[in-house]
Amino acid sequence: MIGYVLFEDRSKIGKPLTRHKGVSVYHNGQLYAESYGRHYSPGGYYYGQKWQCVEFVKRFFFLAKQHRMPNVWGHAKDFFDSSINHGELNKQRGLVQFFNGKEQAPQLDDLLVFQDTLYGHVAVVSEVGKNWVEVVQQNIYGKPRQRFSLAHEKNLYSILAPRRPAGWLRIAQH
pLDDT in tens, 23-60: 999 999 888 888 899 999 999 999 999 999 999 999 99
> Which regions in the chain score pLDDT beneath 70?
1-8, 174
- What whole-number distance in Å separates Cα of residue 4 and Cα of residue 37? 24
Domain boundaries, the chain: 11-170
The pLDDT assigned to 9 comes to 73
Of the CA atoms within 13 Å of residue 174, those in its CB half-sphere come to 0
The pLDDT assigned to 1 comes to 44
- What whole-number distance in Å separates Cα of residue 18 and Cα of residue 54? 16
- What whole-number distance in Å separates Cα of residue 129 and Cα of residue 117? 27
The pLDDT assigned to 173 comes to 83
Q: Position 81: which residue type?
A: D
Question: Residue 124 in contact with residue 137, Cβ under 8 Å?
Answer: yes
The pLDDT assigned to 7 comes to 62
Q: pTM for the complete prediction?
A: 0.93
User: Cβ-count burial of 70 within 10 angstroms (0-12 exposed, 13-18 middle, 19+ buried)?
Assistant: exposed
CATH superfamily of 11-170: endopeptidase domain like (from Nostoc punctiforme) (3.90.1720.10)
* C-alpha dist (Å) from residue 43 to 46, 63, 147: 9, 12, 34
The pLDDT assigned to 33 comes to 87
36 DSSP β-pair partners: none
The pLDDT assigned to 6 comes to 58
Question: Residue 103 in contact with residue 97, Cβ under 8 Å?
Answer: no
